[in-house]
Amino acid sequence: MPVPMKAGTVLRTRYKVIKIIGQGGTGCIYLADDLRLEGRLCAVKEVEYDRALPEEMLNESRDQFQREATVLARLDHPNLPKVSDVFSIHDRDYLVMDFIPGKDLRQLMMEARQNKTFLPEKEVLNWADQLADALNFLHTQQSPILHRDIKPSNLKLTPNGLLKLVDFGLVKMLAPGEVTITVLQGQGTALYTPLEQYGGDSGHTDARSDIYAFGGTLYHLLTNEPPVNVRDRFLKPGSMPHLRNLNPDISVRTERAIHWALQLHPEDRPDSIDAFRKALFTEDAPVIKDSQGKRTMPRLLRKVEISLIALAGSLVLISFLLTLLRNF
């Protein structure tokens, strides 16, 4: 775990650290005072690399950080913090962004839970609409950008009601002819992470991976209960309660849309942010059912089940043939 800098440390003769406001396996995020622009506060994200990496891989990681940070600095959207500076000091890289005042959505949800109530669906859907705008903007860049760590604590609400998607620590850019390129290793927060993201850089992640985390975030905000971890869901299908079982005031449309986003297999989810937004606001999401009207297994589990059935059938056939041979 990286050792945090002390308050008062000045970076690049410009950014004076006030306090640490976030910490993870690859670095810290600090609240800092911009000494060149009086009164401006900023968030400085520090990235420290694994010192055990071979020199070639380390250099490649740092080059990727510079390329992707440059792309982030060009982004301009009301629901995203503005990246204003990128620099390196010795073996660490830094990303400077606007500091976003206000509470994050996890804090608001916890307050509602302590009061034994739920956040109003109308309010949560307003935030969802703003988040959809931000993600659609990222996903439709010339080289689509994935956030990969959408969760309530990464969504801040400014005093004027504007939602901001913060912390680009696990950002990925999709490149033509490649699955993904990435600057930072990580899989996101387990509660909101889709199954395919556990493959690290070898797993195929795309817009549907952010859609899963989006759906998990809304599930948590509306029910005060986190979605069941995908690994547990894989091992125990049907283990995640439906939203209306936890909060009966949620509309059927909202419930269907969120459960659609939370399908284990990417092909069973909405294929774009626009499709998910339509399911939330204007169209009914599909309800995946079999011919008997029962909900089917997610596609990934159906493939496992089909393989097991095929294997069982083969064993029965072999047993039958052996019996015939013995009779001869």
C-alpha triplet 96, 100, 102: angle, nearest 5°: 155
Alpha helical stretches, state H, the chain: 55-74, 105-114, 121-139, 207-223, 230-235, 243-246, 252-261, 273-281, 299-327
Contacts with 287 (C-beta within 8 Å, 6 or more apart), sequence order: 256, 295
Within a 10 A sphere around the Cβ of 324, how many other Cβ atoms?
Answer: 8
Query: What's the token pair of residue 57?
Result: 């891989």
Contacts with 243 (C-beta within 8 Å, 6 or more apart), sequence order: 219, 222, 223, 250, 254, 255, 258, 259
Query: What's the token pair of residue 268?
Result: 């069973």
Among this protein's residues, is 271 annotated catalytic? no
Contact 81, 98 (CB under 8 A): yes
HEC profile of 168-214: CCCCEECCCCCCCEECCCCCCCHHHCCHHHHHHHHCCCCHHHHHHHH
Residue given tokens 């004076």 in the structure block: 16
Q: Any idea what DSSP says for residue 229?
A: P
Q: What CA–CA distances, in Å, run from 118 to 219, 249, 276? A: 12, 9, 23
N residues, the chain: 328
CA distance 201 to 215: 22
Nearest to 205 by CA among 194, 214, 218, 216: 194
Q: Given the residues 104, 149, 167, 268, select the one marked as catalytic.
A: 149
> Which residues are catalytic, by number?
149
